[in-house]
Chain A
């Protein structure tokens, strides 16, 4: 069966201007219990690659530059 992609607004938002992933930082990607954050090949910044979030906050709490914001997933809001 062919697969289709499914639109979803992701809860974790990264401020590209503050994110220093392009300088080698991987803190948010490292600490996520669900392993849903990645560094973009295109921008060099962190982003939420998979909408599988426990909105638990280590990514936001441990980010050294305050670039990460965790929102409540829309379905729960």
Chain B
């Protein structure tokens, strides 16, 4: 058989809870659902392989947001994230995370994942954020995926690797009914009926094009092409604050993060070309990114990661962490460039844009039970709207989603859906394979992402966005009528391209809707340069209504942790002030 040859086939299975995405939130969601009701069927569907999929494929060097008794309180953390996210936060979900994450740390510890402890045996938490202390290194962080995988096997979770979900099924009553997926190596269709579905499909990380021009050199795992955002949208779920883009400070041309969490606590900092510190706090926020961007654009760029003032032992320790875990080709990159942290500051740059609530706030709207606006549909991790929630947030909110979804499934029956929906989706999915002639997915993807860079990257200009929408419309037309996939692997890329174009459209639509500037660089609109709390202190919710993309406002839930007048602008004061 030829490589990745397309096979005609369709099968159907059913389960109580279907979890889509086996990266970080997904395995935890599946595990907690199964533990809640061991008799129930839980299926974990994954586009790649659960053993090595997702953002933490190779591990993670630490927890960025650990709320550990004695170091931080849930009140303090909730306050910090509310301020860092410019006030647009439903605090209940953040507070719930903050209360529960310590239990999850202890659970991960029991799975064999170690966290840094001091000589007294207490967790050695480090300060990175503006106000509180939440960063906890993980000395054997490269074992995270393996440790979780062992738990999945033990709990007998049914794992289906190499199936890409393409659309959700919804019942006539609006409830979730399951999902349709396609095998990434044979193009066979698998329909999974489910009482509850949890989306844990990661960030939309393949939206902008990295400056290197290499399409897969993205900050996020390049498999995270925004499929979850697209699926939630087409199922009618609301998506929150998509205009709050993710943009990160990275090593120039290399997709590794730099300063805040690993090197920062040891005394490294972000410097301009004069070797001077220009931001107060390296914690990733839109306000910090705006100062980073301003410095890059000013005569004081480029911007550097400065470590060469540190002691050799300190540099070695940082290097070991940076080169061993999360992005272990980093040492190889520096070797090839002949750059050494000891000799000179390392050039940095800003990443391509994406959606990701893990670092910003753009995600499928969820409440404090990880419920979306579609009954029976849940979301957790980088693609759900709980802001700044990182890896520990994915584990914790995945756990919340798994438990609540199983409770929902236990008290409901399968929703009835129209069987014609399956045939319709099958034809839509396989359309690129039916064409004899056309444009390959890599060209359509490249063009869409190049347009994202040209027109949608902040600073956001209304006229540019309108042009971008027009050009992206032309790409969509090509994608829907001329895209060709000659084997199952190309079909995988073709389907990912569809997610990418959907996300680009959503990014443009959401950005034009919010006529103010907020979240620093993430939503800097030159035509509306000021923050407008009178009209825009609210969420924006994007959804599909009668087949059309629409946006509406949704009030921020009343705070449960009050923010003082003198506190709410703390993250706005990021620039180092010249002292008199």
Contacts and interface: CB of A to CB of B under 8 A. Distances in A.
Interface of A: 1, 3, 30-35, 38, 41, 49-50, 52-58, 61-62, 70-73, 75-77
B551 to A, nearest CB: 33
A72 to B, nearest CB: 5
A57 B327 CA distance: 8
Contacts of B328: 57, 61
Given A34-B216, A55-B217, 15 more contacts: A31-B49, A31-B52, A33-B52, A35-B48, A35-B185, A35-B492, A38-B4, A52-B216, A56-B57, A57-B328, A57-B329, A61-B58, A62-B52, A72-B254, A76-B254
SS class of chain B's interface: helix, strand, loop or mixed?
loop
A50 B488 CA distance: 13
A30 B52 CA distance: 9
Contacts, number: 93
B494 to A, nearest CB: 13
Interface in B233-262: 253-255
A49 B3 contact: yes
Which 10 A-B pairs have CB atoms at the shortest separation, nearest pair first? A58-B52, A31-B52, A75-B214, A33-B48, A55-B329, A54-B222, A76-B212, A33-B223, A76-B253, A75-B212
A34 B52 CA distance: 10
B221 interface: yes
Contact of A1 (B221, B253, B439): B439
Contacts of B437: 1
A32 to B, nearest CB: 7
B85 interface: no
29 contacts: A30-B51, A31-B49, A31-B51, A32-B52, A33-B49, A33-B54, A33-B222, A34-B216, A34-B222, A35-B48, A38-B3, A38-B4, A49-B489, A52-B215, A56-B52, A56-B57, A56-B58, A56-B329, A58-B51, A61-B58, A61-B328, A72-B332, A72-B333, A73-B214, A73-B216, A73-B217, A75-B214, A76-B214, A77-B333
Nearest to B3: A38
A33 B221 contact: yes
Given A57-B328, A70-B329, A33 B216 contact: no
B332 A71 contact: yes
Given A72-B336, A76-B214, A1 B438 contact: yes
A61 B52 CA distance: 11
A72 B251 CA distance: 14
A24 B156 CA distance: 26
Contacts of A50: 489
B157 to A, nearest CB: 18
A58 B59 CA distance: 10
Contacts of B212: 75-76
Contacts of A57: 58, 328-329
Contact of A34 (B4, B223, B329, B332): B223
Nearest to B438: A1
A74 B437 CA distance: 31
A46 B400 CA distance: 41
B53 interface: yes
A38 B187 CA distance: 17
Contacts of B214: 73, 75-76
Nearest to B437: A1
A75 B438 CA distance: 27
Nearest to A55: B329
Contacts of B3: 38, 41, 49
Interface residues of B, number: 41
Contacts of B222: 33-34, 52, 54
A40 B214 CA distance: 25
Contacts of A75: 212-214, 217
B132 interface: no
Contacts of B332: 70-72
B162 interface: yes
A24 to B, nearest CB: 17
Contact of A30 (B49, B54, B215, B253): B49
Contacts of A56: 52, 57-58, 221, 327, 329
A3 B483 CA distance: 12
Interface string B201-231: 0000000000011111110011100000000
B440 A3 contact: yes
A34 B58 CA distance: 14
Contacts of A73: 214, 216-217
Interface in B475-506: 489, 492-493
B377 to A, nearest CB: 25
B226 to A, nearest CB: 15
B184 interface: yes
B323 to A, nearest CB: 11
Contacts of B162: 35
Contacts of B48: 32-35
Contacts of A61: 58, 328
Nearest to A49: B3
Contacts of B57: 33, 54, 56, 58
Contacts of B493: 52
Contacts of A41: 3
B138 to A, nearest CB: 17
A1 B4 CA distance: 23
Contacts of B58: 56-58, 61
A77 B217 CA distance: 11
Contacts of B336: 72, 77
Looking at B255, B332, B333, the one whose CB has the most chain A CB atoms below 10 A away is B332
Contacts of B217: 54-55, 73, 75-76
B28 to A, nearest CB: 18
Contacts of B489: 35, 49-50
A75 B337 CA distance: 12
A71 B329 CA distance: 8
Contacts of A54: 57, 216-218, 221-223, 255
B282 to A, nearest CB: 24
